[in-house]
Structure 1
């Protein structure tokens, strides 16, 4: 059971006892927000979250990253992000990714982060790998184009969204296309104190029996205090002993721009109206307990804000939970919290409305008491234990849940069959349905042929038939006039180009060599050897690093069966030599790589050097390959130990990358390269890296999403910030199926092919996948 802190005795309504079960799983959540000692409502909210959730759920721990503009010291144990420095945002993301945080929780307001409308938050969240929770403290009715762009982007990155009002939720779904199912409406938390202790706290402040009105918060233009001061003459005529308490320091930003001029203007106006004697000014920033004591001394709480777009007000939540009669303008939070007679709503900047509402309440003690009791009862829904429970549930819904260790079961060939016809393998799919609009591509059919070379999932007759289809596609793709292969073919079997990319040509050379070495059918091996010999010299001018890696892998494979084959020797020496040169040229103390950037299929370059080093007896190439592969593998292992491939959104970024979109091709490349490295030096770390890449398919990833199903042989197209890409294209299916064979090379004794293993795996993935 949990009791709220801060009570000072008991009265007719005691504080509420709340009981709910504790969960055992330990959770670490990173909060990005302003934070005390910075003086603003968001900082107070973040501190309340840390205190209250931590107090009620000891399994939830928080790391704090505080936005700072240099106006306040950062407490020990709190990390800082400079709001005006984009590199500080990016560095913070990298540091967060290096921890084992289960989720990152961003508190969003437009004035907190750097750049126009705080757009630097995009540079931060785009680099965050952990599931992202975003609390939108304000959702504008009419945002500017740039504000809309920022909110749209944040929504697209969020795994979970928290708002504090249904109206904010509706605006996000209707105007920013946020999925309704990822939005939690959690009202602003509030303290749980006994009801009806005004006299006690008035006495402590020397207020006696005077009726007390209070407004609390950082003082600033736009709070509507002018209207209350203008209403005081009318209120004093009926209640001459009234006391209006304005509690709170001037907003630091306002102090920086104009000092205390706004407060002085209010004081001067009070003197002119002859009401200065009825106003008490508490010009300081109060801690939470002292604030609550000040509010307890209040009879009527006023929030006369003219800005009706304000989504939340922590002080309003506090006042309602403490059982105060509230008079407020109908801004968003007030309309929702005070509905059903919980408070009194008046028009913005209506002096007469304020005066009439206050005088009406004070004229009838019974009405005032009933109003307070309605507020207190409503506040039981928002007290901190309830808030903490809702937040903990939101965290649990957000945090990834990887599956347990997965049996190494050979994927069913059905996934390949479903994506194939008599022409070849379709390129893309809608879900599990082949999408004929995109036709076929050479890349997928050479990968399919490589799978057919090694699979044992089908019989010899089918293996030969399907190998023949892929071989026919590859043969037809060759354009002798250009000396290159075409890549893309429409569903009508018409080629869409005269020649394909360098990579598609290099990958085809590798596939031909792989087929010449590995396909069980002699005639298909002979066909592959003939075409390889015909096309290899045409590739001598191709020089992109990954293309060179593919050609080097093919030439090194061919040297296994033709050790003295001159064209293969020249191709392997040229490709490996250039890659080794690039590695030396680009290396710096913290960057052991071939280029100043990372892109797709990265492990293929180390794999090619390992293969060439082994084939040609070049230990220098072998060592470079092992060194660069170790570096990229470490870079693709998250702090929690799971595989985190270079995301396609970050391809080509100098000396860095972003974690999404993660694609199966990257897991397969890591597996293949680790298998090659393991064959070269037997290091157990290659098994560890490879196992992480394999388990990525089964939920050991940044979103806990199961992507592959050995029972159907299908694989989803990747992992995005919100979860899995539900489509199952050829590249993804083949990456999964080929990855299995590399995994067998790493852990051959763990392969399980029994019916029991298949049934166990089927049960594991049945809840995560909808494949039949």
Structure 2
């Protein structure tokens, strides 16, 4: 595997004033310093229409309430070809209910995601649980900073253990030093200093510590409690400085004004380390047990400070085994006794300092960055195709049969005595757009597929209707098939595109091989032979591929047609030549861009290679299909077909939307012929994963198919399914279903020659 080259951290960033901003900035710097030639950046969340003078390390900012900017953020990361995205998740920094807007970004990413969970709630609301579960699902790895986080993820959210990494909060690599020099510099010489730092808010328990000061002063009259930190910006926005004022009033009421110092400032690391260095005891009197992570605790512990704390989750783990002192929540007397005891017992205080400093060496940012880099490599390895395809072939989607029965009700409702309508309004045929040979050729392919064992063939009149449409589409004057026809049966053009001609040849080839009617098989073979010569000059890679798929059937029927064999090799060589011209290590494809029906190109080459015993065709087909699957698979392993928004974009990662059923159908067929070519069962598993796209195994977790009626919606928009159920969509689903049903029959009875022949084995 190539070394990691580009890593993006999503979170808050300094100079925004919050713990996530500090952590994200420190993590990005540590990762950047961990490897030479490694490029890192931050995608910064900006809150409540604020503006910040971000440093150069912030490559993009996203306004937390703007869904459009989350979508744009995903496009930026995909276009930048980042190897890993490292998300910093905390409730409250992303927009939407329970921070749901971040899902709009994550669902569109093409690279693995490693998410650091700064909070794991033991009793989440329904919305919080839903968002958390989706984030975990879309992450290749999740990182927590305490074993309690691992326990909650396993027991509350059912996250598998091998997906969870416990990596301690990073700390500066700072020597163990006596506090005297820093005290002198900061104006606290000859004082016993107790310190709390961080953004002020009621959950920090400062009141409890203030209440403890009179008892401390009885034993250490020189003690001073320094409260370092600005009031939390959200609190200032909502209440101003009322909370800080209430604390100062409490100090005055207790008569300890000379022994409590409020330093209303947000300090950066160099100044912060000086303040920590000068304290004799650090205290975190937090009021909430469910505190998974405390950067202030980690930093003070890492500098070798004796810590007195309430037993919130992070403190309970970090300060165990005598590395600190734990006191009950809200217990002012207990905190006072423990702090006074430490301030009056120098040897005990020094021993605790040394234990804390020694125990924290594995937490330095250098070590933390190493752990993250290992997690990134593991996530990338897990993102590779073989791991993505682990699901059993029958594990299609929850609450659905592995492979439904073939239901043709909607398909037949989309047909009249002319042929298959192009479009529908919801499930109602839309006559305004008439018909096209593309869709009627697909319908003829479906009719052929339904002649396989175990299926129910269409009636003679139904199949004949599609054949008649194809015959009528042939224009002998232009030697091309027309494509578009109005509802009044008037052709709207003299000839269609190369692609529609090639697709019609494909349908004719299959009809010549599989139609139930001997007469219609002869008709199809004759029209194929007449229309084939036009394809010899095709330049469209898809038209070439469709024609090759037709030739696969036609040449099996007429092996003595020398001209057909020549055109077959010419078209296959043309695809391989295009690949040779365009392919690079990062772009293994036949063209400079991706478009529609992409998987038909490798499918055609593999089929041609198998039939003609040409290994070069098979190799090219397998290589391009593997690459295509890396482009069409999300970090969580579900299928994400190339979206229409990226059609024609030169050498750009595919866009996520709009997603269409035709891509899923093509990909299933290509994977199954790849399995036939190299025997790797991985391809069958991938085909099953792609098939689940129809039933909710997609970016929106929305089913596109009603398996009771055979209705298939036209695809996925960024925020919803397309409610229309047109001809192309229903035929694409039914063709995919026919492939999967034949695969299941072959798996059930692998020695059945009829079933094996049905899937080309």
1:395 aligns with 2:372: no
Of 349, 354, 359 in structure 2, the residue corresponding to residue 378 of structure 1 is 359
State the partner residue of 1:683.
none
The change in CA–CA distance for 1:267 and 1:140 in structure 2 (over 3 A counts) is same
Q: Using structure 2 for the length normalisation, give the TM-score.
A: 0.62
Of 679, 684, 688 in structure 2, the residue corresponding to residue 716 of structure 1 is 684
**Local SS of the residue matching 2:23:** helix
1:328 aligns with 2:306: no
Q: What CA distance in whole angstroms lies between the structure 1 residues aligned with 2:353 and 2:442?
A: 75
State the partner residue of 1:54.
32
Q: How far 1:565 moved relative to its partner?
A: 13
1:24–1:59 contact (8 Å) kept in structure 2: no
Q: How far 1:319 moved relative to its partner?
A: 0.6
1:232–1:355 contact (8 Å) kept in structure 2: yes
The change in CA–CA distance for 1:203 and 1:436 in structure 2 (over 3 A counts) is closer
1:33 aligns with 2:11: yes
1:246 aligns with 2:227: yes
Q: How far 1:671 moved relative to its partner?
A: 3.6
2:86–2:114 contact (8 Å) kept in structure 1: yes
Map residues 84-103 of structure 1 onto 2, 5 A cutoff.
84-103=65-84
Q: How far 1:249 moved relative to its partner?
A: 1.1
Q: How far 1:347 moved relative to its partner?
A: 1.1
Q: What CA distance in whole angstroms lies between the structure 1 residues aligned with 2:317 and 2:31?
A: 24
**RMSD (Å) for aligned C-alpha atoms:** 5.5
State the partner residue of 2:657.
none
1:102–1:400 contact (8 Å) kept in structure 2: no
Q: How far 1:381 moved relative to its partner?
A: 2.2
State the partner residue of 1:74.
54
Q: What CA distance in whole angstroms lies between the structure 2 residues aligned with 1:259 and 1:222?
A: 17
2:282–2:307 contact (8 Å) kept in structure 1: yes
**Local SS of the residue matching 1:229:** helix
Q: How far 1:539 moved relative to its partner?
A: 4.1
State the partner residue of 1:358.
339
Q: What CA distance in whole angstroms lies between the structure 2 residues aligned with 1:531 and 1:172?
A: 51
1:509 aligns with 2:440: no
Map residues 134-533 of structure 1 onto 2, 5 A cutoff.
134-400=115-381, 429=394, 438=403, 441=406, 507=442, 509-510=444-445
**Local SS of the residue matching 1:66:** strand
Q: How far 1:341 moved relative to its partner?
A: 1.1
Q: What CA distance in whole angstroms lies between the structure 1 residues aligned with 2:151 and 2:163?
A: 12
**Local SS of the residue matching 2:40:** strand
Q: How far 1:372 moved relative to its partner?
A: 1.3
Q: What CA distance in whole angstroms lies between the structure 2 residues aligned with 1:644 and 1:147?
A: 44
State the partner residue of 2:511.
none
Map residues 565-604 of structure 1 onto 2, 5 A cutoff.
574=485
2:122–2:156 contact (8 Å) kept in structure 1: no
The change in CA–CA distance for 1:430 and 1:64 in structure 2 (over 3 A counts) is closer
Q: What CA distance in whole angstroms lies between the structure 1 residues aligned with 2:198 and 2:17?
A: 10
Q: How far 1:344 moved relative to its partner?
A: 0.6
1:64 aligns with 2:42: yes
Q: Using structure 1 for the length normalisation, give the TM-score.
A: 0.61
Deviations along 1:217-244, whole A, 9 cap, x unmatched? 0111211101111111111111111111
Q: How far 1:697 moved relative to its partner?
A: 6.9
Q: What CA distance in whole angstroms lies between the structure 1 residues aligned with 2:271 and 2:620?
A: 54
Q: What CA distance in whole angstroms lies between the structure 1 residues aligned with 2:505 and 2:232?
A: 62
Gaps of at least 5 residues in structure 2 are 386-391, 420-436, 508-529, 547-574, 608-616, 639-670, 698-733, 744-761
Deviations along 1:233-262, whole A, 9 cap, x unmatched? 111111111111111111111111122221
Deviations along 1:619-665, whole A, 9 cap, x unmatched? 9x9989889x99xx9xxx999436799xxxxxxxxxx99xxxxxxx9
The change in CA–CA distance for 1:242 and 1:127 in structure 2 (over 3 A counts) is same
**Local SS of the residue matching 2:158:** coil
State the partner residue of 2:587.
641
2:449–2:735 contact (8 Å) kept in structure 1: no
Greater mean alpha carbon deviation, residues 380-389 or residues 703-712: 703-712
Q: What CA distance in whole angstroms lies between the structure 1 residues aligned with 2:209 and 2:82?
A: 47
